[in-house]
Structures are given as structure tokens and as C-alpha cells.
Structure 1
Amino acid sequence: METVKQTNKAPSLLQNKFLQTILLSNMLLQIGIWVRNFAILLFVAAKTNNDPYAISLISVAEFAPIFVFSFIGGTFADRWRPKRTMIWCDLLSAVSVFVVLITIHFGSWEWVYLVAFISAILSQFSQPSGMRLFKYHVPEEQLQQGMALFQSVMATFMVLGPMLGTFVYSRFGLEVSIAVMGIAFLLSAVVLLRLPKDVQEDRPPAVKGQFKQEFMEGFRYVWQSQVLRVLGLVFILAGLAVGVAQALNLFIVTERLGKSEEFLQYILMINGIAMLAGGGIVAVFAKKVPPQVLLAIGMLVGAVCTVIVGYSESVPLTLVTQFFNGLVFPCIHIGISTMILTWSHNSIVGRVNGVLNPMFIGMMVVSMSFAGVLKDAFPLTSIYAGAGVLFLLGACVLVPIMKQKAPNTAVEEQVA
């Protein structure tokens, strides 16, 4: 079916029913996620009098499932029907939210952590399924533009999400905020019903040990592809750089700029607005720039901007730098996503995503964990210079694959 889709002239990207549906679903999910994130953060901070341990458990609940379930979720996403998987994940998330909501109302407030934990687990099955559907329903030449539009939605909520989450929690409280998340996930499941019917694939009947075999196949597939191996290394370097920079942002505001902690929200807002603009710019020029070049541009500019932010004591310079950093950040996300989709066969997209994604998140969490130790041992300027070097190394390792052409998966599928 994919071969027919690619030989005919592709319709306008915004006329693509799949993309319309997936973007609307993602908007609803982002509303639920941001309202949940800020409701839990503000509630736990108030309940524990800003206890750092209690607050850090929120991040553990959100990120820990990625290590455990990303590989498993990617493998099952390749075995199950993607549309059905996404709908069931959203439905189960909604049901779990309402169950936890009842538990919180009649029992202990600590159950609030379970909302983030269960949602994070289910997302490890839903997200790679969405990547598979991108591969099925968006023509190869429009993949990068499609990812740019997807990134623009994410960037929009990076600007609006904190304000929306804070408003809902401040006005209505924890229980209504969590209920909003449940309703948003429920509506997302309804919207996903508009997706085209899952393509029937001929798969051999399940046999003992097949899951383990398919699980390991994802690692072998990544290792045997030079492009995906390099991408894994980029994930590791970018994760280390992003983690330490994010963890110490607050000290840039208080120590380098001499501002109060509240000023951080303006930096994040400017960064989010720039990301939104950057996603739109990439969407316009996506067809003309190979994804590995796009990724290298993002890493190089990220390197320069990170070093400047670390050394700057000027508020205007820092804000302008953060704007440029946000402007090119979509290049990293869109470049990586497009490369995963382009260099992965339809049958293994979920597993490739499941192998690579934890590399970034894992290294980010590791560097965030050591950020405090680094802060005690080194000045901020040195730490941010080190993060800039990591970005630069990430750009350099892309050089050997810069001229590689994407494999013709349509031909592969036809031969298969």
C-alpha cells in the first residue's frame, strides 16, 4: 500500500486526515499533561512545604517508566495494531486517572504520584505506535514537515502550558485539575477513532521466545545501521548537555543575572515562543534540508548558545541567546524524529524508537542527578562551557553520515 501512496502525487500536508487527527489528539493530551504536571507540582510543594525529596519524586514518577517500559513498549508497538494501541492507551490513562482521583478523595494524597506514573507507562506503548502511523500515513517527502508541525504543537504548549496548569489548579484545586486530565485523555481516544483503519499485516503465529527475539532484534537493527548508531551517540551527548543545563537554569537567573527565581519563567516563555517560531520555519524549509544537516545545525547553535548563557551577566544578551537557542531547538527534535522514521523499516519503527529514546532520557536524568555535585565543584561558566562542548561533539559525530541518502523503504517493502 505504501508503494501506491508514494508513486502518486501527495496531497497537501494539512489535508492529510491522519495528520489532522494526530495533531488534534496531541493538543488534547498536552492540555491534560500540563494541567496534571503543574497541579501535582504545586500540590506536593504546598503539602510538603517545598520538600526537595517529595518534589523530586514527581520527576522519578515521570521518567522512571521510560527506562523500564520503553524497550518493551516499542516491541509491543511493532506487534500490535497501532491505532488500537493508541486508543486503548488513552482510555486506560483516563480510567486510571479517575480511579486515582477517587482514591485521593477518600484516602491518602500520596496516590497523586500514581497519576504521573501510570500515564508515563502507557505513553511508552502509545508514542512508538504514533511513530509507526507517521511512517504509514505521511509520504516520505513530507515526513520532516509533518514532524515540524508536531513540534510546533509541543512548543505552543511550552508557552501556554504552565499558565494553563497554574490557572486551573489555582482556581479549581487538585481534584478538578486531575479530572481535566482524565477528560482530555478520554477526548483524545475519541478523536483517534478518526484515524484510518489499521493496515493488516501478515505475521507468523506467536511462538515461545518470540518476544525476546523481537526485543533483541531492535538492538541489532540499530547496531547494524551506521546512521542509527551515530544517532544513538548524539542522543547520549545531547541528553548529558540538556540535563545539566536545565537543572542549573535557576542558578543562571540568580547568580549570573542577579534576578529573583521568578524571572526564570520569562526565560522559559521566550524559549517556548522561539521554539514555536522555529517549528514553523522548519516546516517551510524542511523539504530542502536533509535531516542530518538539520540536526547538526541545531547541535552547533545549541553549543554556542549554551556557552554564551553560561558566561553572560547581561539580561538582554541572555534573553536574546535563549531566543536563538529556542529557535533552532526544533531542528534537533525534527531531525532526530525524521531520521528514525526514514532509516527504520515499518516493521521495526517502534523498537528503534524504544532503543534510542531511553539513551537521551537516561543521560539527561544522569546529568541532572550530578548537576548539584558539579555546581559545588565548578563555576557555572565551566559547567555550561562543558555542556556546549558536548553539543559540539554531537555535531561532529554526524560528519561521517552527512551525505548518506535515506534507504528506499518502499522498494524494500515491495521486494519483501
Structure 2
Amino acid sequence: MLSLLKKPSFLTFCLAQLVSRFGDGLTTVVILYLVGTASKDPLLIGLVLFCQYTPMILFGLIGGSIADRFRKHTVMICADLYRCFILILMVFSAHYPFLLIILVFLSGVGSALFYPARSSYVPIVVGEKHISEAMAVSQSIYSIMQIAGPGIAGLLLVFLSPSSLLLIDAATYFISAFFIALTAFIIKKSGESEGTNSKGVNWLMSIKDGIQIVIKTAPLAFLILLLAQVMFAAGIFNTTSNSLLLHIFRVPGFHFGMIEASAGIGAVLGAMMGPILLRYIKPGHLLLATTVVMGLWMLAVVPLEQLEQRGGLIPVYLWVFGIGLMNAFLNVPISSLFLGLSSAEYRGRAMSILQMSSNFGLIAGVLIAGLLSKYFGVVLITALSGGLLVLVSILTIKMRGYKALLSIDKRAKQPTSKPVRSAAEADL
């Protein structure tokens, strides 16, 4: 997997992700800090998180269509420079919480245009045969930066002003755009072409065609539903986990940070293990088994309190580590399979639909957990979401999409550039 980093175009592509993800971590911490200190209203903090995720749901299909109509590296560079400009505007809006929240939403629009192009650019950078390994490296970078970015941001806030950190983040987007341009130059120099396929197609028709193709390709539709329910459970866990650690298990500050880090370590290991297991286990069996185990793992929160009283914080460390492991363990195979099963002509739109369903599931989980935890408690809500995940996963065995997915054996290693036919085209 790491041998891919010896390929110059993939190395520069990963460096672009590394710096931009680091900047994302800085921005999240700084914006929450600014809004939290300027206003005591918790609703505004919720609005910040809401405005980060909703643009993908609202504008994801447009972003996917743009990625399929124009050169993907050009779309990414423009999106990065646009987000750099938005961050500079945030510097001058640091003392105005509502204006900051609007700018967070506008930055999210740039991300909605960026990520479909980035995801569909992966096969161009590494080739069809290495999609799984490339997605594993990408997920590992994301998981590492999810820990390092906020941690370094918290440290830098001691020495630098929030405005200085926003300027650093703006610089990361500019650097990311430079590395993407360098990646495109290396690919062009090697004689490869990314191509565009739907410039002459009407915008609305382009979006409509993308939706129809994805829905009619049963394995793709199945993967969308699977990821949505996994992210729904993840949204609930993200909402209840802090309360579980601080109020139920009364974790001290040092261990709180270390437990959060254990989730990141689990995510990195899951990202690396996913492509390896896909070589030996059919994707359908692996994904279904993992979702069921993840649901049971979340149900284990019920006896976890008793285990914590007897064994200290070790069971809590293991439980959070397991959640991080399985979350990444699912995301990498789903993303790589989705790319492999999508033809180059509509990859941007297909990946935007996948990311939209992921964000929708995440937001739904956050909202449900926020509303119900107050009345039923975080332990019960976490356990119920795990039980629902197990139940829905078992019911998917009867779906045509799952049966079509079982017919794919070495798809992760030898993906096709054409959509799956015959049984795979049947509706769910």
C-alpha cells in the first residue's frame, strides 16, 4: 500500500490532502472557539457543525456534475482558491458570530465542489487496479489529521491569535492547490489524460442521468444505503461519545484525550486492513459482517459501565478503539468499491451521491441523538442505534443489491471501467 507513495503523482496528491486536512482541523477548532467565546448560545455551536455538512447535501450533485463536465484538477484548484478566499474573509469577521457561520456555509459549498472531483480523480492518479490501496492511504491521512489538526490547533491557540490560525489555514488551501497543479503536470508529462465526457449535456440532464445510473446499478445503490446507515450510527456516537466519557465514565482530562486518540489509531488500522481483507473475502460478506459487528459493539455500551467499574478504563479504551476501527474498516471498502464499479463517465456524480448520503446519515444521527438523549439517556440511545444497525444490516441480505455485490469477487483488485450489467442493473 505505501509503495504507491513512490509514485510522484500520488505523493503530491497525498501532500495536497495532508495540508488541506490539517487546515480543516485548524478551522473547526478556531471557529468553534470564536463562536463559543463570542456567544454563550449553544445553538450557534450546533449551527457551525450543521453548516459544515449541509452544503454537500444541497450542492453535492452540482459538484459531481461539474467534476464530470470539466477537468477534475481544474475544479479542485478553483475550489481550493475559493476556500482560501473565504478563510481570509473570516479573518475580518472574527468578532461577528453570525457572519462567521455564513462563511462556514460558503466554505462548505467549496468543499461540495471539491470532494467529488477529488474522489473521482483517484483512479486517474493511481490507475484502476490500485483504487483500494489509494483509498486506504487517503483514509489513513484523514484519520491522522483528524487527531493532529485539532490537537495542534489547541496548542497554537496558546501562542497565536485565532486570526493568525485562520491565515495559516488559508495558506494550506493555497499550498493544496499548488500540489494538485503539480500532480496534474506530472500526469500530463507521463502522457496520461483525465478526459471529460459530458460538456455538451444539459446540467439538469447530467444530474438526472447520474442519479438514474447509480440507482439502477444495484450494488451502487446498496452501498449508498449501507453507508448512510453506518454514518447514521456514527452521527449518534459522535454526539453521545463526549457525554459518555465525561458524564457516565467520568474520564479525567488526560485519559479523555488519549481515548479520543485511540479512536484515531483504530481508524488508521482499519483503513490499512480493509484492502488486505478484500483480497481474500468477498466484499458483500465483509461489509455485512462488519456492520453487524459494529452494531453489536455499540450495544456493548450497556455492560460497559459495569466492566469499567471492575477493570478501570481499559474496557473503555478498547470499546472506543473498536468503533474507530470498524468505521474506517467500512468506509475504505465502500469507497473503493464504489469507485471501481462506477464508469469514468459519471464517477464525479456517483461519488457526490455517495458523499451526500454519508453526510445525510451523519446529520440525521446527530439530530436524533441530540433530541432523544436528553429524555432517554446517552447509553440507551447509543445501544438502540447499535441494535437498529444490526437489524437493518441483516434485512439487507434479501436485497438484490447485496446479492449482486456477492457476485463481485476480485473487483477491488481488477475494477471494471464499465457499470455492472445484468443482475447488477436490477432495481433494489
1:118 to partner: Cα distance: 2.5
Equivalent residues of 2:23, 2:149 under 8 A apart = no
2:335 maps to 1:332: no
Counterpart position of 1:43:
34
- The one-letter code sitting in structure 1 at the alignment partner of 2:166 is I
Counterpart position of 2:423:
none
Superposition map of 1:2-21 within 5 A: 12-21=3-12
Superposition map of 1:244-393 within 5 A: 244-259=236-251, 264-282=256-274, 284-285=276-277, 287-313=279-305, 314=308, 315-393=313-391
TM-score (norm 2): 0.85
Query: Which range moved further: 378-387 or 212-221?
Result: 378-387
Query: Which range moved further: 81-90 or 313-322?
Result: 313-322
Q: In the aligned structure 1, how far is the partner of 2:29 from the partner of 2:227?
A: 27
When residues 92 and 268 of structure 1 are mapped into structure 2, their CA distance, relative to the original with a 3 A threshold, is same
When residues 117 and 217 of structure 1 are mapped into structure 2, their CA distance, relative to the original with a 3 A threshold, is same
Unaligned runs of 5+ in 1: 1-9
When residues 14 and 116 of structure 1 are mapped into structure 2, their CA distance, relative to the original with a 3 A threshold, is same
Counterpart position of 2:141:
153
Equivalent residues of 2:70, 2:196 under 8 A apart = no
1:342 to partner: Cα distance: 1.0
Equivalent residues of 2:233, 2:385 under 8 A apart = yes
2:416 maps to 1:409: yes
2:172 maps to 1:184: yes
Q: In the aligned structure 1, how far is the partner of 2:38 from the partner of 2:132?
A: 44
Q: In the aligned structure 2, how far is the partner of 1:411 from the partner of 1:52?
A: 48
2:96 maps to 1:96: no
Counterpart position of 2:193:
199
When residues 11 and 252 of structure 1 are mapped into structure 2, their CA distance, relative to the original with a 3 A threshold, is closer
- The one-letter code sitting in structure 1 at the alignment partner of 2:218 is Q
Q: In the aligned structure 1, how far is the partner of 2:231 from the partner of 2:351?
A: 15
- The one-letter code sitting in structure 2 at the alignment partner of 1:353 is M
Superposition map of 1:24-63 within 5 A: 24-49=15-40, 51-63=41-53
1:92 to partner: Cα distance: 1.5
Q: 2:157 aligns with which of 144, 164, 169?
A: 169
1:153 to partner: Cα distance: 0.6
When residues 217 and 393 of structure 1 are mapped into structure 2, their CA distance, relative to the original with a 3 A threshold, is farther
- The one-letter code sitting in structure 2 at the alignment partner of 1:367 is G
Post-superposition Cα deviations, 1:137-167, rounded to whole Å, max 9, x if no partner, equal 3233321111111111111112212211111
- Structure 1 vs Structure 2 CA RMSD: 2.7
- Residue identity over aligned pairs, in percent, reads 20
2:151 maps to 1:144: no
Post-superposition Cα deviations, 1:205-263, rounded to whole Å, max 9, x if no partner, equal 636xx111111111111111110121122123213211122111122124431346885
Post-superposition Cα deviations, 1:104-163, rounded to whole Å, max 9, x if no partner, equal 27x745432244222211111111111221122323332111111111111111221221
Q: In the aligned structure 2, how far is the partner of 1:94 from the partner of 1:241?
A: 33
When residues 148 and 111 of structure 1 are mapped into structure 2, their CA distance, relative to the original with a 3 A threshold, is same
Equivalent residues of 2:93, 2:99 under 8 A apart = yes
Superposition map of 1:112-123 within 5 A: 112-123=100-111
Query: Which range moved further: 117-126 or 248-257?
Result: 248-257
Q: In the aligned structure 2, how far is the partner of 1:402 from the partner of 1:223?
A: 14
When residues 401 and 147 of structure 1 are mapped into structure 2, their CA distance, relative to the original with a 3 A threshold, is same
- The one-letter code sitting in structure 2 at the alignment partner of 1:161 is G
2:226 maps to 1:225: no
Equivalent residues of 1:145, 1:287 under 8 A apart = no
Unaligned runs of 5+ in 2: 421-428
Query: Which range moved further: 113-122 or 332-341?
Result: 113-122
2:55 maps to 1:65: yes
Q: In the aligned structure 1, how far is the partner of 2:54 from the partner of 2:418?
A: 39
Q: In the aligned structure 2, how far is the partner of 1:182 from the partner of 1:379?
A: 40
Equivalent residues of 2:68, 2:196 under 8 A apart = no
When residues 312 and 206 of structure 1 are mapped into structure 2, their CA distance, relative to the original with a 3 A threshold, is same
Secondary structure of the 1:193 match is: helix
When residues 392 and 16 of structure 1 are mapped into structure 2, their CA distance, relative to the original with a 3 A threshold, is farther
Query: Which range moved further: 59-68 or 262-271?
Result: 262-271
- The one-letter code sitting in structure 2 at the alignment partner of 1:364 is L
Secondary structure of the 1:98 match is: helix
When residues 356 and 16 of structure 1 are mapped into structure 2, their CA distance, relative to the original with a 3 A threshold, is same
Secondary structure of the 1:104 match is: coil
Post-superposition Cα deviations, 1:58-102, rounded to whole Å, max 9, x if no partner, equal 11221121121111111111111001111111112112222332x
Q: In the aligned structure 2, how far is the partner of 1:215 from the partner of 1:152?
A: 31
Counterpart position of 2:425:
none
When residues 45 and 79 of structure 1 are mapped into structure 2, their CA distance, relative to the original with a 3 A threshold, is same
Equivalent residues of 1:309, 1:318 under 8 A apart = no
1:403 to partner: Cα distance: 2.0
Matched positions, count: 399
Q: In the aligned structure 1, how far is the partner of 2:159 from the partner of 2:104?
A: 21
Counterpart position of 1:87:
77
TM-score (norm 1): 0.87
Query: Which range moved further: 398-407 or 132-141?
Result: 398-407
Q: 1:238 aligns with which of 207, 219, 230?
A: 230
When residues 402 and 408 of structure 1 are mapped into structure 2, their CA distance, relative to the original with a 3 A threshold, is closer
